[in-house]
Amino acid sequence: MTGRTLDRVSPAPSPAVAIVRQRAGRDDWVVRAGLVVLALYLAVSIVLPLWTLLSKSFQDRAGDFVGLANYAAYASNPALVRSVLNSLTVAGLTTAITLALAFVYAYGLTRSRMPGRGLFRAVAMIPLLAPSLLPAISLIYLFGNQGLVRDWLMGWSIYGPIGIVMGEVFYTFPHALLILTTALAVADQRLYEAADCLGATRFRRFMTVTLPGARYGLVSAGFVVFTLVITDFGVPKVIGGSFDVLATDVYKQVVGQQNFQMGAVVSAVLLVPAILAFAVDRMVQRRQVAQLSGRAVSFQPRAEPFRDWSLFAACALVAFGLLAILGMAAFASLVTFWPYNLEPTLRHYSFDLMDGGGWASYWNSLKMAGLTAVVGTAVIFTGAWAIEKGRGAGPLRAACHLLAMLPMAVPGLVLGLAYIFFFNPAGNPLNFLYGTLAILVMNSIAHFYTVGHLTAVTALKQIDPEFESVSASLKVPSYTTFRRVTVPVCLPAILGISIYLFVNAMTTVSGVVFLYSPDTTLASIAVLNMDDAGDIAPAAAMAMMIVYTSAAVKLFHALATGRLLRLTQRWRAR
Amino acid sequence: MGHLQAMNSLFRAATAGAAFLGAALAAAPADAKTQLTVYTAVEADELAAFKQAFEAKNPDIEIRWVRDSTGIITAKLLAEKANPQADIVWGLAATSLKLLADDGMLMAYAPKGLDQIAKDLRDPAEPPAWVGQRVWISAVCFNTVEAKKRNLPAPKSWADLADPVYKGQIAMPNPNSSGTGFLSVSAWVQTMGEEKAWDYMTRLHDNVATYTHSGSKPCRQAGAGEYAVGISFDYRGAKVKADGAPVDVLVMSEGSGWDLESFGIVKGTDAPDAAKALADWSVSREANEMYAKAYSVVALPGVAKPIPGYPDGLIQSMIKNDFSWVAANRERLLAEWQKRFDGKTEPKS
């Protein structure tokens, strides 16, 4: 599960299609056929693989059904059980720390008039551009036995829970921040005025007005962070030392010991917290909707120098921490031989001389991310449109919507393993996909489907259903309306989805670590393999290539969007 | 139509739909070159040159390396036994190849020029199932700068490394994934006797800070001063030293474990001719001269020459190595090791 880096939206099925019931025409059948194709696609790329994976956990090596025997073996292995405890510990600690930091940061961004808010917002998003291996590599340079500031740890080792928690805080920070800024951005000025009139102290006002208003955001952010940490594999792989967690156990079972059945069992265990978090999050969000009434007066922070500068100091500290971790990786990739020869060099970027697939893996990543963005956006947006605007076929639309929401609860590692089980057997007609770039693209689209879907749905809901009614009465086929009205209107959201898919496909490790072949090594996997071989500086260099690429694409996207909006969205202005 | 049949046809329709999409996405390379899938544990920094040299001689063949550490490659080969994916295994430990040969997974083949190869560096069977390429020898990387800082003496023997003065200063490869780790363990067992060897490893374990996945990493970590001592192998030590690390590459007085990088053709390969071409090239003088650029003992006599950065007395320190015994006991030793020490390994083991 990855975070929701796009706008938070409520996914409740739309009542917007309040159209007079008509008999389904040819046009409707086209949409319905589209829905069937979509449902089949989602079944093949998500449901069937997961089903195969779960059934594997009930089989022995020969494929015979053995009931819960694998689970019993799992429970009786003290090393594996300890991983559950380890995972819960680091996830709990990370959640507490990230929430505290992100809350203060979000409070500064939304409720104060501290200077530099735009810059702070931009800096906080940096971790989204990097694979989770990057903070772990960087932390070794900072706090390892030869680390720049290892004394700060006062004799504690960075290899283990401390390193994992620090790396995960970096990795999850923007996810928590996005949710909390959304939660804090909406507040009712009148509540604060009332509190002031009643003579409430600043502290009391915070406890009785601010915190309750943000509690759903906090719960939601907490679950997102918790799930991200439980399922992340990059940070503990690089810096975990002997501290095993669930995610590394799956990898160890599958890659190290070729024990697929036990890998399936650990995957099933890994699904539990993710699904739990997902369910609670959905419940919480449903209640969040009613928070702000139509008569609310939106909150405008007044200048308060003491508060503003205190928040500025706190945010600066966090932003500095984020930049230091990124900067350390950039620096490490340019140093000849850390720590003995600090002369600058570019030789660590000669990837062809290292383990992991060389420059080819970088180009593969670009191709994979590009295809994921283009194909994924087309599938997701058209699918969302058919679900939102199609008439009739209610159960089918509901089913598609449900399938689209499912990937959010499935960790990348689990989905990757599920793909092996489903696509690898020679009996599967789709077996030819195995080992190709196409399966990586398919896996990435499935992995990041939900956020794109929700974004598309939100954008589509903004279009008045009148358009469809008018087109229908003018006998314009709905796909023409789609092309001439829907797509242009939703262009900002479409670009948003594509960039989200691109960046996530560039940085993902867990989803694809089981699926790449010698021809389709990826940059993020190369980082992992280089670190494995002890080539830490080249690993940092490749991780930085991913950051530079994601940042460049984001920048280009921002410029392009600005231009496009000026060209196509003029109608929005009055 | 029954429920099950309905499900089935639904499934078939689904897969057909996705197949169409997949076909549109999967760009099939359309050149006529024979693709040769080669499983190897040779370090990546050497592979590019081997590929280039071989393909220059055989322009109709293209090598696809699948490179991982010895343990992983061996596990992969065993796991794929029913439906082998590799055409040829190349540059893997002879102990692993012996295991595969005993399992009947290798195709016996006598490459052109085999008679020139040293007799004790190949499978004695005629024709051989596997042929050695070059020897790699366990060695210790010792960081002199960190040693001075932390007041550590240079170790002279394996026994020295169990001294508590090295507590938390040693990185060692995990024998379950790394061939280098395994050859150290097998050498200790062969030279000390099994009981004493386990006792030794238990004391050594107290000093080991981390067990790594690859055999190179301990030396690289010692080179970077992350730990003072890295149990690794000769080539990596010399290379790290050449990169500018303040390390001494040392051999221990009780003798050094060693293994043979070897190749063997996988039985049932789709590309037997291409695999044989690689086998022929691999025993050639050209290939052996390339091997000798990095390793001090190669299969073709008279080719090896001294290499800077290698420790003195390296070749003399090689223990008497019983490949048959090692292959026969490999699995048992690894299981025992895992049971005793695996808590402290890196995540990937």
Q: Cβ contact (<8 Å) for B15 and A430?
A: yes
| B118 Cα to chain A: minimum distance (Å) | 31
Q: Where are the alpha helices (DSSP H) in chain B?
A: 3-25, 44-57, 70-79, 94-102, 144-150, 158-161, 179-192, 194-207, 217-223, 234-242, 272-282, 285-294, 323-341
- How close does chain B come to A39, measured CA to CA in Å? 9
- B14 contacts A256? CB cut-off 8 A: no
pLDDT over 90 percentage in chain B: 70
Q: For an interface test with A, give the residue of B10, B11, B25, B339 to mutate (most A CBs within 10 A).
A: B25
Name residue B12's amino acid: R
Q: Which residue, among B227, B176, B201, has the nearest Cα to B335 in the 3D structure?
A: B176
Residue B2 banded pLDDT, cuts 50, 70, 90: very low
Q: Residue A359 and residue A343: Cα distance in Å, rounded?
A: 24
For A112, list phi and psi in degrees, rounded to 5: -135, 175
Q: Are A403 and A39 in contact (CB under 8 A)?
A: yes
Please give the Cα distance from A221 to A178 (Å, whole number).
9
Contact: B347, A248; criterion CB under 8 Å: yes
pLDDT for the residue A294: 59
> Could you report the per-residue pLDDT of B278-291, keeping only the tens digit for each?
999 999 999 999 99
Q: Which of B189, B227, B171 lies closest to B345, judged by CA?
A: B171
Mutate to test the interface with B, among A44, A132, A262 (most CBs of B within 10 A): A44
CA angle B10–B13–B18, rounded 5-degree value: 125
User: By mean pLDDT, which of A204-213, A344-353, B194-203 is the weakest?
Assistant: A204-213
Q: Token pair of A241, please?
A: 């030392």
- A239-243, A530-534, B197-201, B302-306 — which one is most confidently predicted on average? B197-201
For residue B250, the 8-state DSSP code is E
Q: Is A149 exposed, middle or buried (0-12, 13-18, 19+ CB in 10 A)?
A: exposed
Cβ pair B186, B333 in contact under 8 A? yes
Task: State the pLDDT at residue A426.
Answer: 76
pLDDT of residue A259: 80
Q: Which helix (H) or strand (E) holds A417?
A: helix A412-423
What Cα–Cα distance (Å) separates residue B105 from each residue in B34, B74, B100, B269, B281?
A: 22, 12, 5, 10, 22
Of B63, B164, B93, B156, which is closest to residue B327 (Cα–Cα)? B93
Report CB contact under 8 Å: A146, B22: no
Residue B173 pairs in a beta bridge with B212
Closest approach of A241 to chain B, Cα-based (Å): 5
Nearest beta carbon to residue B15 from set A338, A429, A438: A429
**Confidence band, pLDDT 50/70/90 cuts, at residue A159:** very high
A354 with B25: Cβ contact below 8 A: no
CB distance B246–A248 less than 8 Å? no
- pLDDT in the model for residue A571: 62
Q: Do the strands A341-344 and A335-337 form a parallel or antiparallel pair, or are they unpaired?
A: antiparallel
Peptide bond into A407 cis (omega under 30): no
Beta-bridge mates of residue B92: B262
Band (A289; pLDDT cuts 50, 70, 90)? low
With an 8 Å Cβ cutoff, are B44 and A353 in contact?
yes
Q: Which residues of A touch B239 (CB under 8 A)?
A: none
| Average pLDDT, integer, range B145-169 | 96
Nearest neighbour of B225 by CB, restricted to A146, A430, A441: A146
**Pairing between strand B208-212 and B258-266?**
unpaired
Q: b/e string for A58-84 if b means 16 or more Cβ within 10 A?
A: bbeeeeeebeeebbeebeeeeebeebb
Query: Cα–Cα–Cα angle for A210, A213, A218, nearest 5°?
Result: 100
pLDDT at position A14: 45
Residue A354 has its nearest CB partner, among B45, B214, B346, at B45
Query: Rounded mean pLDDT of chain B?
Result: 88
CA–CA separation, A439 and A418 (whole Å) = 12
Q: Which of residues 6-45 of A touch B (CB under 8 A)?
A: 37, 40-41, 43-45
> What's the pLDDT band for B67 if we cut at 50, 70, 90?
confident
Q: How many CB pairs under 8 A join A and B?
A: 151
pLDDT of residue A273: 81
Q: Mean per-residue pLDDT for A271-277? A: 84
> Nearest to residue A86, comparing CAs of A138, A157, A151, A161?
A161
Q: What percent of chain B has pLDDT over 70?
A: 89
A51 in reach of chain B (CB within 8 A): no
Our CA-based measurement puts residue B46 at a distance from the nearest CA of chain A, in whole angstroms, of 8
Please report the pLDDT score of residue A165 as a whole number: 98
Confirm if A47 and A419 have CB atoms less than 8 A apart: no
- What are the chain A neighbours of B43 within 8 Å (beta carbons)? 355, 533
Say whether residue A96 is in contact with chain B using an 8 A CB cutoff.
Answer: no
Quote the ipTM score. 0.81
- Chain A positions touching B220 (Cβ under 8 A) are 533-536
Distance CA A505, CA A497 (A): 12
Band (B82; pLDDT cuts 50, 70, 90):
confident
Total count of residues recorded for chain A: 574
8 Å CB contact of B220 and A536: yes
In this predicted structure, the answer to whether residue A481 has a pLDDT above a threshold of 50 is yes
Q: Is A54 exposed, middle or buried (0-12, 13-18, 19+ CB in 10 A)?
A: middle
Instruction: Tell me the torsion sign for CA atoms A404, A408, A410, A412.
Output: positive
Rg of chain B taking only CA atoms, in angstroms: 22
pLDDT tens per residue across span A363-416: 999 999 999 999 999 999 999 999 987 777 788 899 999 999 999 889 998 999
Interface list for B 177-236 with A (CB within 8 A): 177, 210, 212-214, 216-221, 223-227
Indicate the helix (H) or strand (E) that contains A310.
Answer: helix A305-332
Task: Name the amino acid, one letter, at B189.
Answer: V
Q: Which of B33, B36, B45 to mutate to test the interface with A (most CBs of A within 10 A)?
A: B45
Helical packing angle, A260-288 and A412-423, nearest 10° = 130
pTM of the predicted model, to two decimals?
0.87
Question: Does residue B149 have a pLDDT over 90?
Answer: yes
Residues of A in contact with B66 (CB under 8 A): 518
Rounded Cα gap, residues A525 and A547, in angstroms = 14
- Residue A570 pLDDT level (bands cut at 50, 70, 90): low
- What is the C-alpha to C-alpha distance for residues A531 and A140, in angstroms, rounded to an integer? 11
C-alpha dist (Å) from residue B14 to A33, A374, A418: 13, 22, 17
Which of A17-26, A234-243, B190-199: highest mean pLDDT? B190-199
Q: Output the pLDDT for position A295.
A: 67
β-partners of residue B232 are B139
Which chain B residues touch A432 with a CB distance below 8 Å?
Answer: 19, 22, 26
Contact check, Cβ <8 Å, A251/B347 = yes
Q: Which residue has the tokens 């940490």?
A: A229
**What are the beta bridge partners of residue B36?**
B63
Q: For B99-115, what is the mean pLDDT?
A: 94
Distance between B114 CA and the closest CA of chain A, angstroms: 30
Tens-digit pLDDT profile for residues A309-328? 999 999 999 999 999 999 99
* Among A43, A79, A354, beta carbon nearest to B14: A43
pLDDT of residue A1: 38
Distance in angstroms (rounded) separating the CA atoms of residues B95 and B297: 17
Q: Which residue has the tokens 């410029």?
A: A559
Residues of B in contact with A341 (CB under 8 A): 244
pLDDT of residue A88: 94
List CB contacts (< 8 A) between B11 and chain A. 48
Report which of B156, B288, B150, B276 is spatially closest to residue B209, judged by C-alpha positions: B150
Q: Which of residues 7-66 of B touch A (CB under 8 A)?
A: 10-19, 21-22, 25-27, 37, 43-45, 48, 64-66
Is any Cβ of chain B less than 8 angstroms from the Cβ of A340? yes
Cα(B174)–Cα(A264) distance, integer angstroms: 24
- pLDDT mean over B22-43: 71
Are B221 and A442 an interchain contact pair (Cβ–Cβ within 8 Å)? no
Out of A35-39, A62-66, A183-187, B78-82, the most confident range is A35-39
Residue in chain A lying closest to B66 (CA): A518
- Angle between helix axes B179-192 and B70-79 (nearest 10 degrees) is 100
Mean pLDDT of A517-537: 90
Query: What are residue B263's DSSP bridge partners?
Result: B90, B131
Which of B72, B245, B348 is opposite residue A337, by nearest beta carbon? Answer: B245
B269 touches chain A (CB under 8 A): no
Q: Are A428 and A51 in contact (CB under 8 A)?
A: no
Q: What is the mean predicted confidence (pLDDT) over B219-246?
A: 94
Range scoring the smallest mean pLDDT among A189-203, A545-559, B53-67: A189-203
pLDDT at B11 over 50: no
**pLDDT at position A98, please?**
98
Q: Chain A: nearest CA to B17, how far in angstroms? A: 7
| Count of C-beta atoms within a 10 Å radius of residue A93 | 17
For residues A163-176, give the mean pLDDT: 97
Confidence of residue B343 (pLDDT cuts 50, 70, 90): low
Question: Number of C-alpha atoms within 13 angstroms, CB side, residue B13?
Answer: 12
What's chain A's average pLDDT?
Answer: 87
Which range has highest mean pLDDT (A126-130, B28-32, B173-177)?
A126-130
- The pLDDT of A189-200, averaged and rounded, is 86
Q: Is the pLDDT of residue A122 over 80?
A: yes
| Whether A518 and B346 lie within 8 Å, measured CB to CB | no
Residue A532 exposure: Cα atoms within 13 Å on the Cβ side? 26
